């Protein structure tokens, strides 16, 4: 059953915003043009559990141009843009998603896309994969694609334990995905989410970033660019050292808790900030999370400490503690960039979703011959995406001269 979003103005707003995203996704457009001619996904059934955004809409249209039929559900209850759902449904694409859906509805929708008997599942966080391994254990699947770090971590653990039952491409691990989407996308859009919800000034504030992986790298850099004093919390000594040499202060969560003004988690881990930290935070600090699951802030612990809780602005909830201090949480501790803003800009999703489209094509070509495991796309496909993006940006790419090729290949020359 499709959600029949009958409001024509909603669909028309969705179409307008999708068109704007489409204009800023030239790499995906080039792939779509080729797909229209070559039809590499002819007859392939796709079930996609992804954030229902304008950029995802452009990906769905690209898959359809390649010959696939598509059913889409949300990969987070708060990331769905209802106008996009309306526009896609209007365009004949099955979408099962409503912003703010409860957990039962979320899983009902995942089951609805799996009821279409897909050949390929697109996942963002491995929720569909989990359902296919816990409940729908005999449903045949040609293969899967995974968009995010947390999902890939789960899949690698399943492969290691010998329980993964079909091949999956770790799209996140393509360089043209994680070096740009995780870094520049999360960096910009997470601050965008905090800004839209709170309209605070970042200049002069102490921003505590937990996790200095690709996402943390981007968030820290953008916060510093806005004039914040950035503090990084890390458990990995090499990443912590790297943060220190970028010029950030590196400290423990306990040391950062009393000095931070804004706390942003991007670890993929659980309970980074807990009651012992809330107990020493300043009045009116802002907490937000951009890691995949809403587990990075211990909100149940915060709720237990609170004497009152109220929504003070859209996507901004205040927990009042017994001593009068207030702790403010953005977008319920869910992905702040998608819950309180529109997610990454189309310009960067262009590459992530070009990788997804090419991965789907690669899986259709190779899936039958792959054993269940986690695969990374061939480096040539990464390079193809990078070249197309550079071309679209009007950036020149130098080429090696024959002399330079010889020099770089030789171990005798060079003294
Ligand atoms: P990553 O593995 O590169 O980085 C995570 C970092 O967190 C690592 O350096 C790790 O050492 C650190 N860490 C783990 N536990 C910690 C703890 N207890 N305290 C401090 N540091 C800790 O991962 P990434 O690619 O940066 O992704 C981070 C999270 O963001 C994942 O959940 C990923 O799925 C998600 N993500 C979200 C978006 C988005 O749109 N919001 C986009 C991409 C990725
Ligand atoms: N993940 C982060 N930003 C996104 C976007 N704009 N669309 C889909 N998935 C995303």
Say yes or no to pLDDT of 340 above 50: yes
The DSSP code sequence of 373-408 is SEE---HHHHHHHHHHHHHHHT-------HHHHHHH
Taking each helix axis as running N to C, give the angle between helix 26-38 and helix 346-366, from 0 to 180 degrees, rounded to the nearest 10.
30
Any ligand 2 atom below 6 A from CB of 349: yes
d(Cα 82, Cα 24) in Å, to the nearest integer?
A: 21
Tokens of 360: 């789907």
Any ligand 1 atom below 6 A from CB of 296: no
Q: Are 110 and 127 in contact (CB under 8 A)?
A: yes
d(Cα 74, Cα 124) in Å, to the nearest integer?
A: 9
d(Cα 415, Cα 412) in Å, to the nearest integer?
A: 8
Q: Are 406 and 198 in contact (CB under 8 A)?
A: no
Which ligand approaches the C-alpha of residue 342 most closely? Answer: 2
Say yes or no to pLDDT of 388 above 80: yes
Any ligand 1 atom below 6 A from CB of 66: no
Q: Three-state SS for 329?
A: strand
Per-residue buried b or exposed e for 334-346, using 16+ beta carbons within 10 Å of the residue's own CB: bbbbbbbbbbbbb
Query: pLDDT by residue (tens digit) across 13-71?
Result: 999 999 999 999 999 999 999 999 999 999 999 999 999 999 999 999 999 999 999 99
Any ligand 1 atom below 6 A from CB of 267: yes
d(Cα 251, Cα 371) in Å, to the nearest integer?
A: 44
Residues paired with 328 in a beta bridge:
286, 318
Class of the 185-339 domain? alpha beta
Taking each helix axis as running N to C, give the angle between helix 127-134 and helix 149-160, from 0 to 180 degrees, rounded to the nearest 10.
30
Any ligand 1 atom below 6 A from CB of 147: no
Nearest C-alpha to atom 9 of ligand 2 is from which residue? Answer: 51
Which ligand approaches the C-alpha of residue 80 most closely? Answer: 2
Any ligand 1 atom below 6 A from CB of 235: yes
The torsion angle over the Cα atoms of residues 77, 81, 85 and 86, rounded to 10 degrees, is 130
Q: What's this model's pTM, rounded to 2 decimal places?
A: 0.96
State the burial class of residue 153 (Cβ atoms within 10 Å of its Cβ: 0-12, 13-18, 19+): middle
User: Which distant-in-sequence residues (6+ apart) come within 8 Å of 112 by Cβ?
Assistant: 1, 71, 73, 96
Q: Are 368 and 142 in contact (CB under 8 A)?
A: yes
Tokens of 91: 């365009």
Query: pLDDT by residue (tens digit) across 293-303?
Result: 999 999 999 99
Any ligand 2 atom below 6 A from CB of 344: yes
CB atoms within 10 A of CB 245: 9
Domain boundaries, the chain: 8-177+343-393, 185-339
Taking the centre of ligand 1 as the mean of its atom positions, its distance from the CA of residue 290, in whole angstroms, is 9
Q: Three-state SS for 9?
A: helix
pLDDT tier for residue 8 given thresholds of 50, 70 and 90 = confident
Nearest C-alpha to atom 3 of ligand 1 is from which residue? Answer: 213
Pocket test for ligand 1, best of 51, 181, 268, 334 (most atoms within 8 A of CB): 268
Say yes or no to pLDDT of 6 above 80: no
Say yes or no to pLDDT of 139 above 70: yes
Among 230, 266, 222, smallest CA distance to 250 is for: 230
Tokens of 62: 């690209």
Pocket test for ligand 2, best of 349, 350, 356 (most atoms within 8 A of CB): 349
pLDDT tier for residue 5 given thresholds of 50, 70 and 90 = low
Query: pLDDT by residue (tens digit) across 163-192?
Result: 999 999 999 999 999 999 999 999 999 999
Q: What CATH number has the domain spanning 8-177+343-393? A: 3.40.50.1480
Residues paired with 374 in a beta bridge:
168
Among 316, 323, 315, smallest CA distance to 342 is for: 315
Tokens of 355: 């990788």
Do 8-177+343-393 and 185-339 fold alike per CATH?
yes
């Amino acid at each position: 059953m499709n959600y029949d979003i009958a409001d024509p103005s909603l669909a028309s707003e969705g179409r307008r915003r999708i068109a704007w995203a489409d204009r800023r996704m030239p790499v995906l457009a080039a792939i779509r043009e080729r797909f229209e001619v070559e039809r590499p996904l002819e007859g392939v059934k796709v079930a996609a559990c992804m954030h229902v955004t304008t950029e995802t809409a452009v990906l769905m249209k690209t898959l359809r141009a390649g010959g696939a039929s598509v059913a889409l559900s949300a990969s987070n209850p708060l990331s769905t843009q209802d106008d996009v759902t309306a526009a896609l449904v209007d365009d004949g694409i099955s979408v099962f998603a409503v912003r703010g859906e409860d957990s039962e509805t979320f899983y009902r929708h995942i089951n609805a896309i799996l009821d279409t008997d897909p050949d390929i599942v697109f996942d963002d966080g491995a929720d569909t994969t989990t359902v296919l391994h816990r409940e729908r254990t005999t449903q045949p699947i040609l293969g899967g694609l995974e968009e995010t770090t947390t999902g890939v971590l789960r899949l690698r653990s399943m492969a290691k334990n010998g329980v993964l039952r079909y091949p999956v491409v770790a799209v996140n691990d393509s360089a043209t995905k994680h070096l740009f989407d995780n870094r520049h996308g999360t960096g910009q859009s997470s601050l965008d989410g905090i800004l839209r919800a709170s309209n605070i000034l970042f200049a002069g504030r102490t921003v505590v970033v937990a996790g200095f992986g690709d996402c943390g790298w981007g968030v820290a850099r953008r916060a510093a660019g806005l004039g914040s004093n950035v503090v990084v919390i890390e458990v990995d000594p090499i990443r912590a050292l790297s943060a220190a040499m970028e010029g950030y202060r590196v400290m423990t969560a306990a040391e950062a808790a009393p000095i931070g003004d804004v706390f942003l988690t991007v670890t993929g881990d659980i309970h980074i900030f807990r009651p012992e930290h809330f107990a020493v935070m300043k009045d009116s600090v802002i907490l937000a999370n951009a890691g995949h699951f809403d587990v990075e802030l211990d909100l149940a612990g915060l709720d237990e400490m609170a004497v009152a809780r109220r929504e003070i602005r859209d996507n901004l909830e205040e927990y009042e503690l017994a001593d009068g201090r207030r702790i403010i949480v953005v977008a319920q501790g869910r992905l702040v960039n998608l819950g309180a803003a529109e997610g990454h800009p189309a310009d960067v999703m262009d590459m992530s979703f070009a990788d997804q489209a090419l991965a789907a094509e690669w899986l259709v070509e190779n899936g039958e011959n792959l054993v269940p495991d986690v695969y990374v796309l061939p480096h040539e496909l990464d390079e193809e995406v990078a070249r197309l993006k550079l071309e679209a940006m009007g950036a020149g790419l130098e080429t090696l001269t024959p002399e330079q090729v010889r020099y770089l290949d030789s171990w005798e020359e060079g003294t």
